[in-house]
A and B are shown apart, each in its own frame.
Chain A
Amino acid sequence: MVLVIFGVVTLTFFVVRLVPGDPARLMEPPGTPESIIQTVRQQIGTDRPIPVQYVDFLSGLVRGDLGKSFRGGRPVAESVAKALPNTLLLGLVSMVVATVLSVLTGIAAALRPNSWIDRAVLVVVSVAQSTPNFWLGVMLVLIFAIEFQWFPAIDMAGPASFVLPGATLVVTLFPLLVRTVRQSLLDSLGEDYVRAARARGLPEHRVLLVHVMKVAAVPLITLVGLQAGFVLGGAVVVESIFNWPGIGNLALKAIQDRDFPMIQGTVLVIAGVFTLINVVVDLTYAALDPRIRY
């Protein structure tokens, strides 16, 4: 787990330095004399050999120091710490809404396979799956922020500002969740133990909520965990469209500015959060399925 984070961070470190594009030159207006650029390089430390920079970066990491931003010199850790809660809050709200919505829809579809409800759900899911979230975000802004002016289009200011970015993320998450809920319900509904539970005269709601759901929940939890990764990835896009002060927006700006410490810092935090979620998922898994023990 630590290995994965370490691998990702190391990879990012070298890739940003090995591809062309000198951050020092970008920070100054075009036509700035080479001597000034060289001073800037010395200031931000990109003049040293890459292995030296790497050792420096690692020793900072051990001390919990993520370095200073190339732009403005603020500590990366501080910016990241400020942005992360905003991303997590938006992500959490969207995950919860998407999960609740898709569990309900998935159950409705699975209870009557091939009925009109099931077909309608599958059509909606197909369309949602084919809709890129960056386009959806733009369209939502166009309709609900510009045309009707119901919700704010940008920034994080109160509950209403969660609606449009949240809706965009929910639509992105929805299709795969619904498909999984539906399929795992259909799979467990056909199992022998479900028939056996019915043969014991248990009422249908109990069969569904206890016997079917407890087994079907296991793949669902795994998926929700995996989806958390997509929320973090999707945050980059959604946050940039809605100018959300989160980690994704920070990362994208850092990439555009070639702000190496900031890129490394944001990637590290995203990888860390992602891995942490996976650990939590594994533990929940074990709690739900007695056959798994760690």
Chain B
Amino acid sequence: MPRSIPASATELAAQPNGLAPATSRVVERPGLKDLTRFLRRRKSALIGLLSFAGILALAVLAPVISPYDPLKQDIANGLKPPAWNAGGSFVHPLGTDSLGRDIASRLLWGARNSLLISISAVLLGSSIGFVLGLLSGFFGGWVDAVLMRVSDIQLAFPFVLFAIAVLGVSLERPPVLLIAVLGLTSWMVYARVVRSRVLSEREKDYVKAARSLGAGQARVLLKYIVPNVWQVVPVIAMLSLGFLIIVESLLSFLALGLTPPTPSWGSMLAEGRQYMLVSPWMPLFPGLAIVGTVLAVNLAADGLTDYFDPKLAKGQFRRVRLLGAWTANEQAGDSLLKVHALNTIFPLEGATIRAVKDVSFEVERGRVLGIVGESGSGKSVLALSIIQLLDAPGVVASGQILMNGQDLVRISDREIGAIRGKRIGMIFQNPGASLNPVLTIGFQLNETLVQHRKLSGAAARRAAVRALALVGIGDPERLLKAYPFQLSGGMQQRVMIALAMSCEPDVLIADEPTTALDVTTQAQLLDRLDDLRLRLSTSIIFITHDIALLADFADTIMVMYAGQVCEIGARDRVIRTPRHPYTQALLNSVTRTDALGTKRLNAIPGDPPDPSELPPGCPFANRCPHAMDICWQANPTLTMVESAHHAACYLLTGEGSAKVSRQ
């Protein structure tokens, strides 16, 4: 698949860490095939399912395996303790109740009744809910309106009470009545979830395409929508089964369940409660049966939820310090920030992703370092490594980040906290998401100023107004009271810059700050940044996928590919005489208007390598028009091509020159 550079903003937004192109694959809803594999990993879900199957088998086989007729009375042998208690025997392993009925047998038959009722109720509720949800979502209109209002009313009231009221006044309570009451009070959840799934499915391209090709309503519904929405039903069913088992027992506990003397766990419990002074085991056993069954169902339900609805495991921030003193690597005269042989890795199950490989560079005061690369090149991970905010499991494995005689990867959490925001500011790609939605702009500016500059109320307010004015905001006083959602994207990013610059940091890291914005706003923001840099002599690390942006903004340009630096040098040298084929391709891909006035976009063919399976040779070899044999065998290192200009390519060292190009 040819892939153009620069990638679109949406594609980048989908990969906030710039990691693993694998995440851009379409997530398919899992089918039943992989369930066994999933269960092998989720032990708790497996145990839950197996236990539930076991209990179900006991319930089904109750007529065969139960030692006694559950209704047979034997008053002479009443209230016998279980076998292991004094006075008990294995004739009645769990003892007998007040009428001399065998408790073990009654438990087995009770399981039969409880499960029969709750499973049937779940089937009833889920079928009604599924069908109503499908119709409601698919046809909309008045059907939808009526159904949703009815479910509103049902959800707005604890319906167990209603069930109690209905059952309380009925003298005969056959299983069918219980199933109906429990089933009819549980359809809403299915209907609502299925409906919202259908609504989102209905708008998808393939469904629209099928419709425009003239597929009938019924066909679209059955062939395209049902296969993509049914998965929620077993999940909710399992969750609601556990709940219904408890409700059924509750009803029989309150003498509102099956008509006595039919055994059920709830009624045994109620009976046991009367005799608990003499026979404390009587309420114990049915309770344990309920807890065990419901626990099994819930464990299975939790597993199913995660299986059918896998949440992307969002990385948690966790800083891991490197221990030990850093070896003497004296900071050179003018450089403010010096990164030396930095390696950042993501140890994942099965593979370790080397997101940043042996990266070194320096940033001088008041200068702009531009870092450019495709998404997945490791540039964002590099930025987060510097400020020590990597998402788990990412860690800096080796290297140094030197600033003012401190090594940022080795100092304590408290020390790095004093550097973040004060010495190093950072702006992120998505300004809307990077501002706390429920706090005002003024609050967020204020807390930052109070934290680092120890300003008091009025002084902090003045400083906040100044910071906003500095990024060109016309009415800063009014903006202080505003919430982020009230601002446009461009305004939000200005606020982010104001936040980052409010404590006048030495270094500002800007990670794709303009990607989410339109072109005009982009240009304005770049002007602002340059203005701030000149005024406050701040150094800027500007990260982008668009090399054209760096052409008039950066002092130094660093090109990254697959986690490593492939070319670094003074701006003019890199732009005018790019030496690495990747840099040449990047520059070529910039949209140009040629002599005839037509726009051309030269995409770089091929995809970057899978970061978990990097080839032994040069990572760019598979896309490189000049790849030679050696490029597949060894990874080239950076070599100086002229003063202040390094590149990592065998074309420059002459090692491969004797060999014939592969193409």
A146 at interface by CB-CB < 8 Å: yes
Point out which of B292, B435, B438 has the most chain A C-beta atoms below 10 A from its C-beta.
B438
A252 surroundings in chain B (CB, below 8 A): 164, 168, 254
Q: Which residue of A lies closest to B297 (CB)?
A: A130
A152 smallest CB distance to B (angstroms): 16
Q: Which residue of A lies closest to B417 (CB)?
A: A201
Interface of A is mostly: helix
A196 at interface by CB-CB < 8 Å: yes
A202 surroundings in chain B (CB, below 8 A): 421, 447-448, 451
A198 surroundings in chain B (CB, below 8 A): 317, 389, 420
A285 smallest CB distance to B (angstroms): 11
Which positions 247-283 of chain A face chain B at CB distance < 8 Å?
251-252, 255-256, 258, 263, 267, 270-271, 274-275, 278
A55 surroundings in chain B (CB, below 8 A): none
B299 surroundings in chain A (CB, below 8 A): 126
Which positions 233-276 of chain B face chain A at CB distance < 8 Å?
242, 246, 249-250, 253-254, 266, 269, 272-273, 276
A82 at interface by CB-CB < 8 Å: no
B250 surroundings in chain A (CB, below 8 A): 132, 134, 237
Determine which of A19, A214, A236, A256 lies in contact with B166 in the assembled complex, contact meaning CB atoms within 8 Å. Answer: A19
A191 at interface by CB-CB < 8 Å: yes
With A8-B153, A190-B315, A193-B437: A200-B169 Cβ-Cβ less than 8 Å: no
B90 at interface by CB-CB < 8 Å: no
B19 smallest CB distance to A (angstroms): 14
B255 smallest CB distance to A (angstroms): 8
Binds B, one of A35-43, A63-71, A97-105, A227-235: A227-235
With A8-B153, A192-B434, A193-B436: A126-B451 Cβ-Cβ less than 8 Å: no
B168 surroundings in chain A (CB, below 8 A): 252, 255-256
Point out which of A130, A187, A229, A290 has the most chain B C-beta atoms below 10 A from its C-beta.
A130
A201 adjacent to B287 (CB under 8 Å): no
Give the size range of A's interface with the partner.
35 or more
B291 at interface by CB-CB < 8 Å: yes
Binds B, one of A9-17, A72-80, A86-94: A9-17
With A127-B295, A230-B158: A4-B153 Cβ-Cβ less than 8 Å: yes
A178 at interface by CB-CB < 8 Å: no
A201 surroundings in chain B (CB, below 8 A): 417-422, 448, 451-452
Interface size on B, residues (CB 8 A): 77
Contact string, B563-589, partner A, CB cutoff 8 A, digits 1/0?
000000000000000000000000000
A20 at interface by CB-CB < 8 Å: yes
A260 smallest CB distance to B (angstroms): 9
A281–B178 CA distance with the chains assembled, in angstroms: 34
B231 surroundings in chain A (CB, below 8 A): none
A125–B389 CA distance with the chains assembled, in angstroms: 32
Point out which of B242, B277, B436, B440 has the most chain A C-beta atoms below 10 A from its C-beta.
B436
Chain B residues with a Cβ under 8 A of chain A: 16, 152-153, 156-158, 160-162, 164-166, 168-171, 242, 246, 249-250, 253-254, 266, 269, 272-273, 276-277, 280, 283-284, 286-287, 290-292, 294-295, 297-299, 302, 314-317, 387, 389, 413, 417-422, 425-426, 428, 430, 433-440, 444, 447-448, 451-452, 483, 485, 496, 499-500
**10 shortest interchain CB distances as A-B pairs:** A201-B421, A190-B314, A233-B158, A255-B168, A135-B287, A201-B420, A130-B294, A192-B433, A200-B421, A130-B295
Chain A residues with a Cβ under 8 A of chain B: 4, 7-8, 11-12, 15-16, 19-21, 113, 126-127, 129-132, 134-135, 138-139, 141-142, 146, 186-187, 189-204, 206, 210-211, 214-215, 218, 229-230, 232-233, 236-237, 240, 251-252, 255-256, 258, 263, 267, 270-271, 274-275, 278, 288-291
